[in-house]
Amino acid sequence: MGNKEFDDESRYVEAKFKNISVISLYIPSGSSNEKRQLAKYRCMYYMMKKMKEMGGTLRDYIITGDWNIAHKKVDIHNWQGNLKNTGFLPEERAWIDTLLNEMGFIDAFRELEQEKHSYTWWSNRGKAWNNNVGWRIDYHVLSPALKGKVIKTKIYKSKRFSDHAPLIIDYDYAVTDA
């Protein structure tokens, strides 16, 4: 990532293939305390700078992973009860708005029509998984040139691996020597 604080926490891995980079990103959760929420904001700020740099190149990017932010009301089962909770704070959602609406990055999952209540994370408390009381906090965010390249999306829920479900996205994309 190029930032000691977040590199020490192994929050960013980038694989480069000719004209495309695939990045795994894990933005900190702010749920444990205010100190961690401030770390989350620092990570978001630093990642915004990185994404501005990415937007200024001819290279394509797919940035995947746990962003720890539900962007829209449709991305969280109980949005009204979480308006003041980390992961759905107005500042966090505005940050994603900036990436998507102002910088032109793409939320790959939302490129295609989705079923209601499509989530990628469920609390281990209560019966959140069984009742599908979840959040969509895992993303594939694409550089602007990849708009229209999504051909299929799936949240894999046939088997439970953790409190997250894998987000699988297929692309119509050819790696070139560009």
For residue 5, give the DSSP letter.
H
Q: Which amino acid is at 56?
A: G
Which member of 60, 66, 75, 138 is catalytic?
Answer: 66
Query: Beta strand pairing status for 167-171 and 150-155?
Result: antiparallel
**The pair of three-digit structure tokens given for residue 93, joined into one six-digit string:** 């959602």
CA distance 13 to 7: 9
Answer yes or no: 75 catalytic: no
Residues contacting residue 95 through CB under 8 Å, at least 6 positions apart: 44, 48, 69
Tokens standing for residue 136: 């969509």
Token look-up 């795994």 returns 24
- Name the strands in the sheet holding 138-142, side by side, starting at the edge strand that comes first in the sequence: 12-17, 20-26, 60-66, 138-142, 106-107
The catalytic residues are 66
